[in-house]
């Protein structure tokens, strides 16, 4: 099972941790075990690299390209800079989200209605919803619940529904139907007056509700001191948010719309009958709430038998006042005589009062939630538009304010951590490169591969319609290391060829000329094209199956692989074309300075 460690704002999934340790282990084996295995297995007659047919084809294709690059070095670098500048367009079109939706294979339908709904009406509405959902051919089974379960950890009101929709395998779905399209069809079919729909996944919903209390992708929390004022603000925000493009439903909790049965004892009447308040409360608890009188055993299971008045005798205040009887044991009555029965209405005042269905507190302040469900829009741009609309149209009294929660809260936490992780990653790469080359020039040349690698990653993400997320950030962080690796391979071959050319000139007792530099770059770039492409092809061969994979967790892994695949394409172009041009320009400048 793929899980996300979102509650603490962590950036990586267990699969990312596994990948990190796997890469560390592979690096360790490459410098310890692989050289030993090469001594054992690479023996006998080895075909020269010049006779390798694959290498000959690659050299034949690459030689005219690098020859043109060496002739037009400045133009090559300018074109590379233009390509980087053009990436601003797709980058500005990318949305943002915390993590892509993880398809669990099961839908979770969580509509909310106005408070005060009776149990009978809730059961009727739940049955109607289940009947409509089951009519879809993609649905295998539907299990719904209204109100809270028999547990103290689920304080859900009666007006909150939770329906688990088990789906058939996608091979049995209608052609062209996806999960998002199915949710849109279900949402359109389940439009009831006074009911706000919300769609999510079972595991995801539990994680969201436990960490932030918001079960929709976006939530708004209103903080203040007066419940009525907070509800007024919440309802204004609900109206404003519904008008923002991309909103499918918005529901503000009615924190003062609950109804309660209020039974106020008449102490004077109780005194006349010789009753105490405790005796009255015992009678009310037994008649309305029920009292377990015995336990029945059915096979290996035990069930408590609870006795209370039937529904028709406790359905309204008038019936309760008339039908609920309070036993009275008078002082002059005989010992075995049955007690006199007094209607509850004679010893208590019964009425329906309005109050808060539930009271939430957060950070020592009262809070009210607004649940917002969106579709066909990314979270980042939606919150920006919704926040602007709320700031313009809703006026907050002193002491009242709102915060944006849900997945947007996760995303903000992740962005704050990425502001530390990304610069730290680039700094580590820079230090490792400098320790390897011991020269600032070569280090900076390789570091150029990092921003150029972003070009392909951004364009591919824009083409696939992916949003920026933590998974994408993980992919770009990994891409930075891989892009630097390919740049190091090219630069090492160029350095070796240039050092060999300088050594030949020293033996021949002549000064190094531009022609020697040209020959060295051609040798280092062209004659060693095969190992460079092998590095890129091996990496992409491992990433492409991940990017196009399907199944649970593939939504996240494809977002990690996509920027790496696109980045490797642009990084390869940089390595094979741009780095030789920059290298030649730098060395030519040094030759002119020495002359």
What is the C-alpha separation between 436 and 143, in angstroms, rounded? 61
What is the C-alpha separation between 223 and 213, in angstroms, rounded? 14
With a CB cutoff of 8 Å and minimum separation 6, the contacts of 294 are 304, 305
Pairing status of strand 360-362 against strand 291-298? unpaired
Q: Which residue has the tokens 């055993």?
A: 297
* Length of the chain (residues): 595
| The token pair that represents 525 in the structure block | 């770039």
With helix as H, strand as E and coil as C, how does 41-75 read? HCCCCCCCHHHCHHHHHHHHHHHHHHHHHHHCHHH
Please state the φ and ψ torsions of residue 16, each to the nearest 5 degrees: -70, -40
Q: CB of 94 within 8 A of CB of 458?
A: yes
With a CB cutoff of 8 Å and minimum separation 6, the contacts of 404 are 218, 219, 220, 221, 383, 387
What was the pLDDT predicted at 133? Answer: 92
Domain coordinates of the chain in residue numbers?
Answer: 14-34+48-99+439-594, 105-200, 259-355
Q: Within 13 Å of residue 554, how many CA atoms lie on the same side as its CB?
A: 10
Q: Which residue has the tokens 């009615």?
A: 254
CATH number of 14-34+48-99+439-594, picked from 3.40.50.720, 1.20.1640.10, 1.10.645.10, 1.10.1740.10:
1.20.1640.10
DSSP label of 218: E
- Interhelix angle 470-507/529-547, rounded to 10 degrees, is 170
Q: Which residue has the tokens 């980042």?
A: 380
Pick the closest to residue 326 from 309, 302, 311 (CA basis): 309
CB atoms within 10 A of CB 476: 23
What is the C-alpha separation between 200 and 210, in angstroms, rounded? 15
What was the pLDDT predicted at 134? Answer: 92
| CATH T-level topology, domain 105-200 | Alpha-Beta Plaits (3.30.70)
With a CB cutoff of 8 Å and minimum separation 6, the contacts of 79 are none
What was the pLDDT predicted at 1? Answer: 33
Q: How many helices (H) and strands (E) does the chain have?
A: 20, 17
With a CB cutoff of 8 Å and minimum separation 6, the contacts of 240 are 386, 389, 390, 393, 394
What was the pLDDT predicted at 561? Answer: 85
Pick the closest to residue 481 from 398, 393, 553, 422 (CA basis): 422
Pick the closest to residue 261 from 227, 285, 292 (CA basis): 285
Pick the closest to residue 466 from 1, 4, 94 (CA basis): 94
Please state the φ and ψ torsions of residue 359, each to the nearest 5 degrees: -120, 120
What is the C-alpha separation between 65 and 580, in angstroms, rounded? 11
Distance between first and last Cα of the chain: 66
Q: CB of 543 within 8 A of CB of 565?
A: yes
What was the pLDDT predicted at 236? Answer: 92
What was the pLDDT predicted at 257? Answer: 73
| CATH T-level topology, domain 259-355 | 3.30.2090
Please state the φ and ψ torsions of residue 502, each to the nearest 5 degrees: -65, -35
What is the C-alpha separation between 561 and 458, in angstroms, rounded? 12
Alpha helices in 394-439, H assignment, sequence order: 407-437
SS3 102: coil
Pick the closest to residue 471 from 395, 563, 590 (CA basis): 563
What was the pLDDT predicted at 389? Answer: 92
What was the pLDDT predicted at 3? Answer: 38
Pick the closest to residue 129 from 106, 115, 146, 104 (CA basis): 146
Q: CB of 90 within 8 A of CB of 462?
A: yes
What is the C-alpha separation between 547 and 561, in angstroms, rounded? 5
pLDDT in tens, the chain (595 residues): 333 333 334 444 555 566 566 667 777 887 788 888 888 777 777 777 667 777 788 888 888 888 888 888 888 888 888 888 888 888 888 888 887 777 778 898 888 887 777 788 888 888 999 999 999 999 999 988 887 766 666 667 777 888 899 988 888 888 888 888 898 899 889 988 888 888 888 888 887 777 777 888 888 999 988 888 888 999 999 999 988 998 888 888 888 877 888 999 999 998 888 888 988 998 898 888 888 889 999 888 898 898 988 888 888 888 888 888 888 876 555 656 677 888 988 999 998 888 887 788 888 888 888 888 888 888 888 898 999 999 999 999 998 999 898 888 888 888 888 888 888 888 888 898 888 888 888 888 888 778 888 888 899 889 888 888 888 888 888 888 888 888 888 888 888 888 888 888 888 888 888 888 888 888 888 877 877 788 788 888 888 887 787 766 677 788 888 888 888 888 888 778 888 888 888 888 887 776 6
Please state the φ and ψ torsions of residue 297, each to the nearest 5 degrees: -110, 120
Please state the φ and ψ torsions of residue 345, each to the nearest 5 degrees: -65, -20
DSSP class per residue in 516-550: HHHHHHHHHHHTTHHHHHHHHHHHHHHHHHHHT--
């Amino acid at each position: 099972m793929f899980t996300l460690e979102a509650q603490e704002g962590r950036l990586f999934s267990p699969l990312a941790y596994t990948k990190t340790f796997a890469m560390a282990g592979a690096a360790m084996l490459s410098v310890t075990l692989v050289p030993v295995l090469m001594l054992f297995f690479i023996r006998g007659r080895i075909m020269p690299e010049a006779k390798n047919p694959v290498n000959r084809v690659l050299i034949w294709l690459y030689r005219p390209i690098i020859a043109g690059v060496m002739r037009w070095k400045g133009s090559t670098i300018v074109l590379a800079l233009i390509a980087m500048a053009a990436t601003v367009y797709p980058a500005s079109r990318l949305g943002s989200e915390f993590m892509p939706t993880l398809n669990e294979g099961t839908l979770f339908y969580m509509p909310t209605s106005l408070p005060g709904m009776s149990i009978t009406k809730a059961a009727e509405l739940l049955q109607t919803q289940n009947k409509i959902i089951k009519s879809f051919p993609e649905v295998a089974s539907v299990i719904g619940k209204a109100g809270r379960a028999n547990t103290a950890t689920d304080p859900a009101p009666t007006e909150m529904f939770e329906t688990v929709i088990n789906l058939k395998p996608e091979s049995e779905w209608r052609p062209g139907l996806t999960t998002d399209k199915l949710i849109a069809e279900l949402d359109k079919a389940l439009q009831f007056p006074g009911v706000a729909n919300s769609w999510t996944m079972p595991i995801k919903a539990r994680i969201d509700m436990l960490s932030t209390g918001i079960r929709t992708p976006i939530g708004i929390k209103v903080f203040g001191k007066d419940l009525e004022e907070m509800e007024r603000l919440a309802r204004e925000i609900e109206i404003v948010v519904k008008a923002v493009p991309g909103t499918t439903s918005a529901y503000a909790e009615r924190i003062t719309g609950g109804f309660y049965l209020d039974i106020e004892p008449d102490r004077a009447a109780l005194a006349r009958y010789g009753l105490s308040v405790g005796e009255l409360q015992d009678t009310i608890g037994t008649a309305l709430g029920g009292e377990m009188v015995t336990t029945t055993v059915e096979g290996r299971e035990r069930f408590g038998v609870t006795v209370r008045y039937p529904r028709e005798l406790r359905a309204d205040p008038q019936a309760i006042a008339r039908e609920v009887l309070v036993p009275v044991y008078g002082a002059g009555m005989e010992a075995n005589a049955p007690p006199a029965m007094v209607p509850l209405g004679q010893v208590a005042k019964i009425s329906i009062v309005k109050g808060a269905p539930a009271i939430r507190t957060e950070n020592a302040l009262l809070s009210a939630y607004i649940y917002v469900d969106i579709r066909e829009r990314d979270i980042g741009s939606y919150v920006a538009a919704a926040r602007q609309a709320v700031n313009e149209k809703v006026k907050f009294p002193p002491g009242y304010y709102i915060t944006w929660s849900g997945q947007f809260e996760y995303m903000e936490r992740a962005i704050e951590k990425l502001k530390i992780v990304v610069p730290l990653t680039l700094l580590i790469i820079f230090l490792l490169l400098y320790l390897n080359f011991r020269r600032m020039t070569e280090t900076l040349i390789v570091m150029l591969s990092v921003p150029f690698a972003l070009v392909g990653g951004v364009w591919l993400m824009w083409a696939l319609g992916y949003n920026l997320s933590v998974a994408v950030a993980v992919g770009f962080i990994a891409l930075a290391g891989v892009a630097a690796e390919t740049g190091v391979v090219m630069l090492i071959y160029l350095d070796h060829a240039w050092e060999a050319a300088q050594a030949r000139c020293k033996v021949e007792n002549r000064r190094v000329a531009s022609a020697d530099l040209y020959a060295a770059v051609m040798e280092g770039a062209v004659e060693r094209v095969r190992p460079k492409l092998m590095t890129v092809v091996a990496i992409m061969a491992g990433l492409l199956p991940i990017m196009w994979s399907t199944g649970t967790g593939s939504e996240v892994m494809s977002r990690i692989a996509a920027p790496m695949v696109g980045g490797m394409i642009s990084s390869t172009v940089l390595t094979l074309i741009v780095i030789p041009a920059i290298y030649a320009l730098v060395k030519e400048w040094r030759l002119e300075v020495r002359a």
